[in-house]
């Protein structure tokens, strides 16, 4: 078995009150951090702007401190950036995913052995 | 902070060819193992029978050996049970979830501290 047919993990954090933080929101935080704009981040991810806006509103509501800060006006309609809390949550999420993969290598290798699915050709 | 407002994890395994195995399919395997019937398992989970059937077909296609074995006829339209492969995958999945939680206790406690969400009242 090569590394190519090892399964991956998609992890969602289920917050105590019913909110959720998973791969989609994490990717949006990554893209906002990189591009400095919610509009550009949505475009980069192939996500509609209203959808991206809704995810940001959920995140800002679900945590004590807003994760994404947006300023009004300017050519881009103002930019967006991560708050300290947004950066921390993004780091925590990526650490969590990395640790979950690292601590389950043997299990995932076994699941890779019993899957019927050839890796997607590149 | 009490254990009640600690976040949980929902984990999906992404198979190399694009198939997915996550909480919904795992719950369906659990219910089939417990109830011995796809129909009863679907009912128990509040899932339509066609939806449950589709998930079983996906699982049986995604792995080298079918995970769910169904027999024809009888009052229940025949029963369903897990194959050895189905039992193994179910066990591997639950182990993976348990290990991911155990190895991320501190991270999840920190995320619980910054969430704005009160636990859902019981």
Residue B71 falls within a domain, yes or no? Answer: yes
Residues of B with CB under 8 A from a CB of A: 4-20, 22, 61-65, 85, 88-89, 92, 95-96, 99-100, 103-104, 107-108, 110-112, 114-120
pLDDT tens per residue, range A34-52: 999 999 999 999 999 999 9
Residue B117 falls within a domain, yes or no? Answer: no
B49 or A116: which leads in pLDDT: B49
Residue B115 Cα to chain centre, angstroms: 26
Closest chain A residue to B86, measured at CA: A114
Question: Nearest CA to CA, how far is A31 from chain B (Å)?
Answer: 21
Instruction: Compute the distance between CA of residue B33 and CA of residue B38 in angstroms, rounded to an integer.
Output: 9
Specify the number of domains making up chain B.
1
Q: Chain B contacts of A6, Cβ < 8 Å?
A: 16
Query: What burial letters (b/e) apply to B33-50, b meaning 16+ CB within 10 Å?
Result: bebebbbbbbebbebeee
Residue B9 falls within a domain, yes or no? Answer: no
Give me the pLDDT at residue B2, please. Answer: 46
Residue B121 falls within a domain, yes or no? Answer: no
**What one-character DSSP code corresponds to residue A115?**
B
Q: Chain B contacts of A21, Cβ < 8 Å?
A: 111
Q: Chain A contacts of B62, Cβ < 8 Å?
A: 115-117
For chain A, the maximum distance between any two Cα atoms, rounded to a whole number of angstroms, is 54
Give the ipTM: 0.86
Residue B58: which CATH number?
Answer: 1.10.10.10
**What one-character DSSP code corresponds to residue A45?**
T
Contact B22, B12 (CB under 8 A): yes
pLDDT for residue B46 is more than 90: yes
Q: Which domain holds residue A50?
A: 18-110
- Over its C-alpha atoms, chain B yields an Rg (Å, rounded) of 17
Whether residues A13 and B8 touch (CB distance < 8 A) is answered with yes
Residue B94 falls within a domain, yes or no? Answer: yes
Residue B10 falls within a domain, yes or no? Answer: no
For the residues A92-102, what does the mean pLDDT come to? 97
Q: Chain B contacts of A61, Cβ < 8 Å?
A: 116
pLDDT tens per residue, range B77-105: 669 999 999 999 999 999 999 999 999 99
Contact B23, B11 (CB under 8 A): yes
Whole-prediction pTM value?
Answer: 0.87
Contact B79, B71 (CB under 8 A): yes
Whether residues B115 and A14 touch (CB distance < 8 A) is answered with no
Instruction: Compute the distance between CA of residue B57 and CA of residue A115 in angstroms, rounded to an integer.
Output: 14
pLDDT for residue B70 is more than 80: yes
pLDDT for residue B32 is more than 90: yes
Angle between helical axes of B84-102 and B23-35 (0-180°, round to 10): 130
Residue B87 falls within a domain, yes or no? Answer: yes
Residue B34 falls within a domain, yes or no? Answer: yes
């Amino acid at each position: 078995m090569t590394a190519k047919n090892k399964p991956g993990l998609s992890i969602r954090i289920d917050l105590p009150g019913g909110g959720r933080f998973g791969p989609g929101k994490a990717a949006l935080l990554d893209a906002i951090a990189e591009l400095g704009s919610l509009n550009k981040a949505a475009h980069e991810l192939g996500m509609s702007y209203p959808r991206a806006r809704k995810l940001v509103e959920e995140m800002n509501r679900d945590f004590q401190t807003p994760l994404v800060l947006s300023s009004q006006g300017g050519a881009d309609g103002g930019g967006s950036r991560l708050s300290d809390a947004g950066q921390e949550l993004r780091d925590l999420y990526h650490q969590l995913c990395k640790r979950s993969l690292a601590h389950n290598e043997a299990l995932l290798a076994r699941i890779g052995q019993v899957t019927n699915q050839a890796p997607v050709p590149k």
